Amino acid sequence: MLSKKVEDILNVQVDKEGYSSHLYLSMAVWAETEGLGGIADWFYAQAEEERMHMMKLVRYINERDGKAKIIAIEEPPVEFGSVREMFDKVLEHEKFVTASINDIVQACIDENDHTTNNWIQWFVTEQIEEEAAVKALIDKLKLVGEHNMYMFDRDIMGMRGGGAASAE
Ligand code: FEO
């Protein structure tokens, strides 16, 4: 049985993961319409993964006698300026998600909920991997520069390593 505090904060996370999925879907659309099919595929896969994170939370909340809340998801931006700006935004967003996962861990500690604390550790590890994967892509972008998007776009799926970037 979840405490009200833990149930509420997990439901906030359901919304954040849903937004992440929408954000990355919007980025996929932007990349695809800019002729960057490789980058688009990376973001389509990423959007699926975020939906999986959301579903994981939904199922856990219900399984523990709580009730998952499905609410309207905020509309994501549609313009991203450049590939580099877009990936900087991804990193910033993932750091925001990491902070909210840490808040869940803290809520579990406050509520003495060892079960959820144990369960949420999967997300803690996932966030380390997601941030690292995005940082690696930004490093690569710095190397190839904005003028060689062809190469980056061609290679990006091959750079899907562990964590966020790999299919769960
Ligand atoms: Fe589900 Fe990218 O955090």
Asked if 11 and 117 count as a contact pair (C-beta separation under 8 A), the reply is no
- Predicted confidence (pLDDT) per residue in 74-91, tens digit: 999 999 999 999 999 999
Asked if 13 and 58 count as a contact pair (C-beta separation under 8 A), the reply is no
Alpha carbon of 91 to ligand 1 centroid (Å): 11
**Closest C-alpha residue for ligand 1 atom 2:** 94
State whether the beta carbon of 97 lies less than 6 angstroms from ligand 1: yes
Percent helix, strand, coil in the chain, to 5, is 80, 0, 20
Q: Ligand 1, residue 49: give the atom nearest the CA.
A: 1
- Predicted confidence (pLDDT) per residue in 41-76, tens digit: 999 999 999 999 999 999 999 999 999 999 999 999
The one-character DSSP state at 166 is S
Assign 161 a pLDDT band (cuts: 50, 70, 90).
low
Domain boundaries of the chain, sorted by first residue: 4-162
CATH superfamily of 4-162: Ferritin, core subunit, four-helix bundle (1.20.1260.10)
- Range from 55-69, 104-118, 145-159 carrying the lowest mean pLDDT: 145-159
Q: pTM, whole model, 2 decimals?
A: 0.93
**Closest C-alpha residue for ligand 1 atom 1:** 50
Cα–Cα distances in Å, from 128 out to 5, 55, 114?
25, 20, 21
Across residues 146-165, what is the average pLDDT?
A: 76
